[in-house]
Structure 1
Amino acid sequence: MPALPDTSNPAFHYRWSWMFHASPEQVWPLVSDTQRFNEATGLPTTQVTETPNPEGGSRRTIQFRRFGISVIWDEYPFEWIQPQSFGVLRVYHGGPVAWMQIILSLTPQGSSETQLTYEIIIHPANFSGYLVIPVQVGWISRRAFDRVFHQIDAALQEQTRNRTAFPLAVTPLHPSADARIQSIEQQLKEVAYDADLVTKFVSYIREALDADLMRIRPFALADDWGVDRVRMLELCLYAARFGLLDVSWDLLCPKCRGAKSTAPTLFNVERHVHCPSCNIDYEVDFDHHIELTFHPNPGIKPIERMVYCVGGPQNTPHIFVQQVVRPQSTKSFDLSLESGRYRIRGPRIPGRIERVEAGEEPGGPAKSMVMITPEHGDDQLHLIIDDHGIHPVDPHIKSGGTRVTFENKTAIEQVVIIEKMAWSDQAATAAQVTTLQTFRDLFSSEVLRPMEQITVTNLTIMFTDLKGSTAMYHEVGDASAFGRVMDHFKVLRQCVSTHHGSIIKTIGDAVMAAFIDPAEGVAAALDMMQEIATYNADNPSPPLCIKVGLHTGSCIAINQNDRLDYFGSTVNIAARIEGQSNGDEVVISESVMSDLGVKQFLADSTLIVTSCTAELKGFQESFPLYRIASRNKKEPE
């Protein structure tokens, strides 16, 4: 904890305990969710002011009103170690309280129980504090905590969902909403969605807690219900199109990963964003920093976004450790982490980067990348923070129990963070959403503002072309040939849509499509070959023959002719690779072939994969390519 303020008045010290019939790992996500816990215990909503700290990060001043009285305090950074403990120090501006320190700790009791200890140290500022504190904290808060902790324990024993553990607000429907909801429910069922899923989803919008509906994440909801993620995303998109939901593009900070800014449409998204909490400027990209979320349309259910706590552990669940280390001092603790890549950083550590470019990791000298493996590495981690940054910069430790020591050799207090590098895969990112054909069909007007360019760091681009189309027009006439070209577009569109991609545009007889998953792109391409062969069996003269090329890499999302489009070398290379196809075969680049999902897909014995090297027009280097064809492919004459 930070150094406690000086005070001449003796403190009240409360220490309460509860037993939970679950492990600390099960209890932690609920009791450390301070946003929901504060609401459940009856605390009022807060207003937060974040002031940039010249040393890095920001200072938070928080205010709420209760019984007509305004309560204001400076909130120091929360400290926590998952799933062991968390705490916070608050210093008040006037009123009956000088400062308050809260510490919650979890101690395992055997293999299936946990003791929770809640400590409050609170110093009165004046005589009225001696009257108010025993009533508000010692009696009212104690009873509220007891009620909520018992409800959490009951929910854990019943193995119910997390949201049922808290008795939170449910806003009633708008008075005129019921008829609209019934109409929308019928519309959703008519677009070929499972009727039971639609009924469950509509009931969820009617009855769920406000805390769950303020920011609906379709992939997280799909995982919670055990249904396909893309189906849930498409259901939410249709629900937004029909007026049940509204969309929000959340701009996520690369450090705290919080949605510090939102935009109602892609047109309102700006590439350069500032996070007031981390006090950094950053560039958003489609892969990580822009997430599509949903909330009820105000005409259905007018939910207000309430803030009860902004600094608790569940606001940044990717952070496993956050500790304050005083100047010229050390802090040690035991920690157990799973295998993976972690980053150690701090907002005030010398060498910090205050601007993060798209696709880059924030840090520089102010970060240390940690690799944790089950077999190799140390069982102790000693990190030194000095005027040059963090040392060592690349430690390697074992998974499981580790003794961690932070040594602060600087002259200022440091906030040191250990966080997981991997982003949550439950985010429906802009890269995923905009490559979905359903989104393109329902929200074709969703484009970036003119001249805005946003990076997509990993996208698979497909180009196709109809071989011999000029000769076909001459052979069968314009009308007949045009009809066959349109039929071919329908086939390609269906294959792209089935594999969660989208048609970006057509260029003459050619198609440009995009996929977030390279394996889905390859599968779509091979399906095209099969479906065109089936079409040719029914329409033999003249047979259609398509060429397909795919490449994976980074590109730029832009507004082109009021449509969301992609440009860059990746797009150009994909177009050139398509030109290497002889027809009735798919040609892919090394970047596509190196994807694990593609390798697994191509293990199918019915496919023939041959490697080659080609020089592509406009590029100096030679490109390793792979030709994919079915074993029963008819060789071109």
Structure 2
Amino acid sequence: MSDIQAQFSVLKQTADPGAVEAIQRLIEQGEDHELNRINVIDFSKQYGLNEERAISAFLHSARLGLFDLGWNVLCPGCGGVLGAHSTLKSLKSDDYNCALCACGYKASVDEAVEVSFTVSPRVRRIAAHDPDSLPVWDYFKQMFWSSGVDFNKEQFATLANEVTLDTLELPPGEKATMSLQLPNDFVIVFEPVTHAAHFIDVQGEPTKERQQLAIMYNKVQAPTGTTTLRPGPLRLSLDNQTGMRVLPTVFIAADALHQLIGKRKPFLTAKRMLSNQTFRDVFKADNLNIDQRLQITSLTFLFTDLKGSTALYERVGDLAAFDLVRAHFHALLEIIASEKGAVVKTIGDAVMATFVKPEDALVAGLRMRSAMEELNKKRGSEDLVLKIGIHEGPCLAVMLNERQDYFGRTVNIAARVQSVSMAQEIHITGPVLDAPAVATILEQWSIKPIQKQAALRGIADKMVVYELP
């Protein structure tokens, strides 16, 4: 048995069989470009797989060495990859600049960081493992633009033939010229390898005189400059001093270009990955550095606690209480994972979990309450009284006590909202109640929220919270 076959044998023991079969078929039969920066959400849709199971299968595959995990900082404007990283620890907290859009962005992990998978060169060698071998348009599609930009062959033909004035491959140390006819449109000379751009503001009366413009590429990331020229002939001189191949391309920055790169499809975000239980379990070493802070603009937190757990040990004895608490933990952790959440930590008899969407946290909370009721029914007692609080908002992803954790006011409020509960209750905040899908869930469960004012310990002002009876 080969090493790869052995890896797949192990994978079948830890991941969903259907997802493993689809991954194996892709590696064996897929085209090169399909194995570079795989969009797992798109992959799940194509193969009819459950997204969470597919994500888990790819994570286990990466742990076994079948794929390389990538964290790519994306430009929210054009969808270009501004920074490609092999580990979460490499993400910077400062700005990433997009020369094509002439904008700077913070590396928020909400929608700005894509998580993708590329087949390992030890498993199968593909063209993207040697980016300098890629033709210009393959380089744009596979290396510059992310897996979330929705291109098909016809759209790429439009990009190459209708939106582009010219493009060329310029080896290191070489010089070249382009002879162009400038239209009465804004023009961008963009180079995807160095991420350098120069804008040409074409305006005024057309001219027949040849205009001149010189651009030099080197290792210094220069700010995007603008030159004003008139419609008509242009001699564009290009000088490559970078020590690597460059691919200067001249785009017409009109509606056609914006429409092409503006089409998006869902992709796996870093925020979703950080709230994935499989990732937290198998990629502990790929978490943040101790001094790293990543901003998340929206995350949902769920806190639970057992009411009167100390009295429970006194009432039923240590052994019975321990078994009961362990059964409660098993039920909670299983529900959290099945509802697209991840356990951040347990503190005594309490659980802290995160979810990408408020509706997933709400369904998890409702299922938890039902699970405790079922456990109590089996025992013929009311020993397990679970208090639950849910809140959504911005936070920071950090490392605390060698564990990837979260910090900020949102976390504090979520913990305090849980403490409002006095019995087997769930309390949520306004941001959770206002989430688009939450009203439908409450209607399905025949629940009418009860509004109340709550004084939360450590929070200056009283807050409006909602009890779910």
> Same fold judged by TM-score > 0.5?
yes
* CA separation of 1:193 and 1:579: change in aligned 2, threshold 3 A: same
Cα 1:267–1:588 change in 2 (3 A) is same
Task: Name structure 2 gaps, 5 residues minimum.
Answer: 166-179, 190-202, 205-226, 231-251
Q: Secondary structure at the match of 1:514?
A: strand
Residue equivalent to 1:286: 109
Structure 1 residues 568 and 628: CA distance shift in structure 2, 3 A? same
1:302 is matched with which residue? 125
Query: Aligned residue for 1:124?
Result: none
Would you say the 8 A contact 2:15–2:60 is kept in 1?
Answer: no
SS of 2:449's equivalent in the other structure is: strand
Is this contact kept in 2: 1:185–1:199, CA < 8 A? Answer: no
**Matched residues in 1 for 2:260 and 2:325: separation?**
50
Q: Tell me the TM-score normalized by structure 2.
A: 0.73
What percentage of residue pairs aligned between the two structures are identical? 30
Which residue number corresponds to residue 459 of structure 1?
299
Give distance in 2, aligned partners of 1:613 and 1:510.
24
SS of 2:288's equivalent in the other structure is: coil
Which stretch shows the higher mean deviation, 613-622 or 598-607? Answer: 613-622
Structure 1 residue 302 displacement after superposition: 3.1
Tell me by how many angstroms 1:570 deviates. Answer: 0.9
Amino acid at match of 1:546: L
Residue number in structure 2 paired with 1:609: 449
Structure 1 unaligned residues grouped into runs of 5+: 1-177, 332-344, 349-384, 387-409, 630-637
Distance 1:208 1:483, change over 3 A: same
Alpha-carbon distance between aligned partners in 2 of 1:283 and 1:447, rounded to the nearest angstrom: 19
Alignment-mate amino acid for residue 20 of structure 2: V
> What does 1:93-132 align with in structure 2 at a 5 Å threshold?
none
Q: 1:451 to 1:248 in 2, by over 3 A?
A: same
- Counterparts of 1:422 and 1:583 in 2: how far apart (Å)? 50
Alignment of 1:28-427 (within 5 A): 179-191=2-14, 193-194=16-17, 196-272=18-94, 273-275=96-98, 277-278=100-101, 280-303=103-126, 304-306=129-131, 307-309=134-136, 317=149, 411=228, 415=253, 418=258, 424-427=264-267
Shift of 1:510: 1.1
Following the alignment from structure 1 to structure 2, what is the Cα–Cα distance between the partners of residues 430 and 181? Answer: 28
Residues 1:425 and 1:563: Cα distance change in structure 2 (over 3 Å): farther
1:571 is displaced (CA, Å) by 0.7
Cα distance in 2 for residues equivalent to 1:451 and 1:534: 44
Q: Among residues 369, 372, 375, which one is paired with 1:529 in the alignment?
A: 369
Q: Which one of the candidate residues 567, 572, 581 is aligned to 2:421? A: 581
Residue type of the alignment partner of 1:255? G
Give RMSD over aligned pairs: 3.4
Residue in 1 aligned with 2:432?
592
**Among candidates 479, 500, 511, match of residue 351 of structure 2:** 511
Shift of residue 347, structure 1, vs aligned partner: 8.0
Closer, same or farther: CA 422–211 of 1 in aligned 2, 3 Å: closer
Q: Relative to 1, partners in 2 of residues 1:347 and 1:619: Cα closer, same or farther, differing over 3 Å?
A: farther
d(CA) in 1 for partners of 2:347, 2:265: 34
For the Cα contact (< 8 Å) 1:278–1:347, is it kept in 2? no
Q: Deviations over 1:160-196 (max 9, x none)?
A: xxxxxxxxxxxxxxxxxx71222222223223523x4
| Structure showing greater relative contact order (alpha-carbon pairs closer than 8 Å, 6 or more residues apart) | 2
Give the TM-score normalised by the residue count of structure 1: 0.54
Deviating 4+ runs (over 6 angstroms): 311-315, 318-326, 345-348, 420-423
Q: Name the CA distance, whole Å, in 1 between partners of 2:468 and 2:164.
A: 56
Distance 1:412 1:487 in 2: 73
Q: Secondary structure at the match of 2:443?
A: coil
Using the TM superposition, give the Cα deviation of residue 552 of structure 1 relative to its aligned residue in structure 2, in angstroms.
0.9
The verdict on how the C-alpha distance between 1:565 and 1:477 changes in structure 2, with shifts beyond 3 A counting, is same
Q: Secondary structure at the match of 1:426?
A: coil
Q: Which has the higher strand share?
A: 1
For residue 308 of structure 2, what is the amino acid of its counterpart? Answer: G
User: Alignment partner for residue 470 of structure 1, among 310, 324, 328?
Assistant: 310
> Normalized per residue, which structure has more helix?
2
Equivalenced residues, count: 381
Q: Counterpart of 1:579 in 2: which secondary structure?
A: helix
